[in-house]
Amino acid sequence: MFKMENQFYVLTFLAVYSFGLSTGNEGPIPIVLWHGMGDNCCNSGSMGAIKGMLEDNIAGVYVKSIMIGNNPIEDTENSLFLNANTQVEMACDMISKDPKLSQGYNGIGFSQGGQFLRALAQRCPSPPMINLISVGGQHQGVYGLPHCYYPNHKWCDYIRKILNFGAYFKWVQNSLVQAEYWHDPINEDSYKKGSIFLADINNEDVVNKTYIQQLTKLENFVMVKFNNDTMVEPRESEWFEFYAPGQGKNITPLRESKIYTQDRLGLRQMDKAGKLHFLALDGEHLQFEEEWWVQNSLVQAEYWHDPINEDSYKKGSIFLADINNEDVVNKTYIQQLTKLENFVMVKFNNDTMVEPRESEWFEFYAPGQGKNITPLRESKIYTQDRLGLRQMDKAGKLHFLALDGEHLQFEEEWFIENIVKRFLL
C-alpha cells in the first residue's frame, strides 16, 4: 500500500504534460489514477491525498481516481479478488462515459494499477491515454510476494498459499487478481497458456497488433522502479524486466528480452522514439520523498531558483544550478558557451508568467530576499566569470533586446527585423 512520507506533494511528470499538450479543451489535461493491491480510490493516506494535492497544485485540473465497485470497501476487495480483465472493462466503461475525459487523459498507476492502466491504454482507445506513468507497476509480473502490506495479514497468507499451490488453475486465475500477473519463469509455457491477463496484454503467445498500435500512440511511458523494493519479486519487473527463462535468479535486461528484440508490444519502437523513460530511487515499495518527486518529475522545479535559500538551490537543483556553474565550475561549459558567435536574450517588459522577468536577461534577485534585482554585470556569475559571460560581453557577443508585451507575444515584423535580419542572415 502507498505510504505517505511527511508532507508529500505529488507533482508528477504528468503534471507537466497537463499543460504541455493540448486535448482540444481549455485548461490542463485530466489525470486518471489507479491504486494498487489492497488500497482504494479514496484512502486519505494515499489516493485521496494524491488526488487532492494534484488538484491543489495544478490549477483547474480534473483528477479521476478509479473506483471498482460501489464504495471504497468494495474497491479494496475487488483489487484482490475481482478478475483484472473485468476491472479493466469496468474502468473503460467508466472513463468513456465521463465527458471531462472525452478529449484524452494522462494516467498514473501505482503498483498493480500501473499494469492495469497499461491494459486500459491497449484495450480502450476512446478516450485516448496521452501519457502513462507507472509507479512500481509490475509489467512483467511477479514471482513472489515476500511482503504483503494489506492490513489484514490473513488475506496475504491466503494469497501466498494459493499462488504457490496453483496460480494457473482456472478457478484461481478467475478469483485472485495477483494470480493474473503471476509469472513463473521456471514454467514459461504454463504461464503463457494459463495467465488470463498478463500474458495477454504482453502479447506472450499471440501478437495482438491492436495492442501495439494503441500502446505506441502514447506520448510517453514512464516507469518508476524502487531499488529496495521487498514487496514484490523481482523488482526489475517495474522496468519491464524479468528472470531469464528456466530459472529465478538472473535478470534479462529489457533490451535483451524477446518482448523487446521481437518488438512484440512496440516497446522497441517506443524506445527508439524516445518515449520510454526509466526512473529509479532508493526506498521500499511506493515510498518516496517530496524532493525526489519534484526534481525528477516536474520540469519547472529543475529551474526553480529560491533566492532566500541559495544553498538549498545550489545543492538541490539538478539542472539550472549545474548549467550555471553555481557550485562547481565546469570549464567545458565555459569553453563551449564562449564559442557562440552571439547570445541574444529577449525580455518581455510586461511578462506576468514568470518571476522575475529580469531572468530573461540573466538577472535575478539579490541573495537573501525576493524584491531587489541584481543587474547581470554586478552578479557573481558575471564578476567571477563563472560561465564566461563577462568574456562574451567584452567581445560584444551578448545582446539584450526588450519589447513591451506579455510572455512570448510579439509581432512577426518585429521578429524578422530584430532577430532574423540582425542575427540569422
Q: Which residues contact 200 (CB under 8 A, 6 or more apart)?
A: 208
d(CA 4, CA 282): 15
The residue behind cell 506576468 is: 352
The neighbouring-strand residues paired with 252 are 242
Annotated catalytic residue, options 184, 229, 263, 351: 229
d(CA 50, CA 52): 5
d(CA 8, CA 368): 26
The answer to whether the CB of 142 falls within 8 A of the CB of 191 is no
Peptide bond into 127 cis (omega under 30): yes
Taking each helix axis as running N to C, give the angle between helix 112-123 and helix 84-96, from 0 to 180 degrees, rounded to the nearest 10: 60
Dihedral of the CA atoms 404, 405, 407, 410 (nearest 10)?
-90
Annotated catalytic residue, options 79, 111, 297, 379: 111
Give a three-class secondary structure readout of 334-364: HHHHCCCCCEEEEEECCCCCCCCHHHHHCCE
The answer to whether the CB of 415 falls within 8 A of the CB of 421 is no
Annotated catalytic residue, options 257, 285, 317, 351: 285
For Cα atoms 203, 209, 215, give the angle at the middle one, nearest 5 degrees: 80
Question: Any catalytic annotation for residue 285?
Answer: yes
The residue behind cell 491494459 is: 119
d(CA 24, CA 189): 45
DSSP 8-state secondary structure symbol assigned to residue 375: P
* CA 154, 167, 65, 285 torsion-angle sign: positive
d(CA 237, CA 137): 8
The neighbouring-strand residues paired with 31 are 63, 106
d(CA 398, CA 390): 9
* 309 C-beta neighbours (distance < 10 Å), count: 13
Q: Mind telling me the catalytic residues?
A: 111, 229, 285
